[in-house]
Structure 1
Amino acid sequence: MENKTGKYFKYAIGEIVLVVIGILIALQINNWNEKRKSNEQIHALLDNLKMSIDEDREYLNTTAIIHEFRSNSLSRLYQNALNKKEPYSPVKSISKLENNTIWKGSYPDTVNGDFANLTIIYSGIHDDVVINKNVLDELKNTGLFSELKNDSLKESINTYYSFVNSNFLIDDWNKDLSVSWRHFLRDEYDVLTMELYNINNPYELVKKNESIQTRIQEMIGPARFRSSNASKAIKLAENLLIEIDKYKK
């Protein structure tokens, strides 16, 4: 009886061990499956994130171009209208962007009617930078962002969205400045910037009106600042795209 009891006890222990091993294997398989599903979700969301960032870059590129042109063209309009012999700008000039299609070639340093007209037109245009944060929100709301085992990628994501949020998504002061300028020219001088109504010589208009000169000086700095920030945001976006591709490999 003692031998049989010992055999039964050993058999029971063996059965328990086998059950436990089976449970552990099942749990491990389930964890593998869950991890695989999470990775698939992360990769899918990262693909969507790349598409969103590409769309962001289109808006940011337009903004960089418009405000780079605005800063430099207003500076030159001011300079030429007042017949400044020495190079002059209310603020330091910035380099012309290579992909600027508003004006082909180098900017003229002398009187140029076509250039002056474009300057007036683009001085009144406000740009809308649309940053799509839906994919980022989904990553964080689902908890998948915390599962990213890549500190460099997470840092790039946080840096990019923190920068565009603080510079383009909070207060659209640029739009208010452009609208105020358009209304100022319309109400005070009967000039419609989009149609160039009632303006034959922008240089004379600037030369004869100190209030316009003051307004121009007020607009150049913010335009330069916004163009610079848009260019920085584009670089951050490009770096983020590189980090995403590295992670997916």
Structure 2
Amino acid sequence: MITFFRKLRQQLLTQNKFSRYLVYAIGEIVLVVIGILIALQINNWNEHQKLQEQEKKLLLSLQKEMQENIAILEDKVNYNEVSMASMDRFITLAYKERLTEYNYTSNIRIFDYNPAIVESPILDDILESDSRALLSNSELLQKLRALKANYNAIEKGEYYLDEFWNNRITDYLISAGTGYVIFSGMEADNIPDDIPTQKVLKIDDQFLSLIVVKKGLQRVWLSSQKNALERSKKVIQQLENM
């Protein structure tokens, strides 16, 4: 084919048919441009197919990660709701019946809480790196950013709760003489006689203030867990329908 066009071009030149040669040259250029455009179109289609395949694999990995985090969050929410309920009952009872003593080993849950920070490396990769370019669904990206904000809120709430426990509650419990019982996990009856301990705390204003502040911090923290759980389920539903 190339030889044919070359001979045709030479023939037109030797016959001094410049106008026809010009038309031929323009036609040849048009054919070359069309060929380039077709090649680019095929290349773009191939690249699009590759991106779609990468996006599909990425979304499947994200779905698996979120399913694991949903299971974790459900467990954490259930546990921490029990702790919240224990604090609510105790505070109501303490004020209503004017309790003066509290047996730690018989009602451990008012000081308790279960860490709830979740790991999300795939979600982080999508939001923080070039992987987000693979996600063509802007609505989904917006929901993923909101979910990450929920995860961050859980971590922030847990930080404040940990700080309050370490800086306030721990010192109070140790000064009250319950440190060995609480932090060793042992019943007072199993502790050697030469170690002074007590498992009954005096319920005073300081004690009640600690519980009320912990309850407030934990309520905000638990709310972040519930929000993350609810949003995770909605995102999973959208992923399954894609």
Report the TM-score, using the length of structure 1 for normalisation: 0.71
* 2:234 paired with 1:239: yes
Deviation for aligned residue 1:138? 4.2
Deviation for aligned residue 1:34? 1.0
- 1:244 corresponds to which letter in structure 2? L
Work out which of the two has the higher radius of gyration on C-alpha atoms and give 1 or 2. Answer: 2
* 2:182 paired with 1:187: no
What CA distance in whole angstroms lies between the structure 2 residues aligned with 1:189 and 1:212?
14
| Counterpart pick for 1:141 among 107, 129, 140 | 129
8 Å contact from structure 1 (residues 124, 181) kept in 2: no
What CA distance in whole angstroms lies between the structure 1 residues aligned with 2:165 and 2:117?
15
- 1:123 corresponds to which letter in structure 2? F
- 2:54 corresponds to which letter in structure 1? Q
Query: Which segments of 5 or more consecutive residues in structure 2 lack a partner in the other structure?
Result: 1-13, 190-198
Deviation for aligned residue 1:207? 5.8
Query: Which segments of 5 or more consecutive residues in structure 1 lack a partner in the other structure?
Result: 86-112
8 Å contact from structure 1 (residues 156, 243) kept in 2: no
8 Å contact from structure 1 (residues 74, 220) kept in 2: yes
| Structure in which a larger fraction of residues adopt helix | 2
- Structure 1 residue aligned with 2:62: 49
Q: What is the percentage of aligned positions where both structures have the same residue?
A: 25
Deviation for aligned residue 1:121? 4.6
Report the TM-score, using the length of structure 2 for normalisation: 0.73
Structure with more contact order per residue of length (Cα contacts < 8 Å, sep ≥ 6)? 1
Q: Map 1:58-73; keep pairs closer than 5 Å.
A: 58-73=71-86
- Structure 2 residue aligned with 1:224: 219
1:119-178 superposed Cα distances (whole Å, 9 cap, x missing partner) = 415623441412314443246522x42453323212211211122223425871122233
- Structure 1 residue aligned with 2:108: 120
What CA distance in whole angstroms lies between the structure 1 residues aligned with 2:221 and 2:176?
27
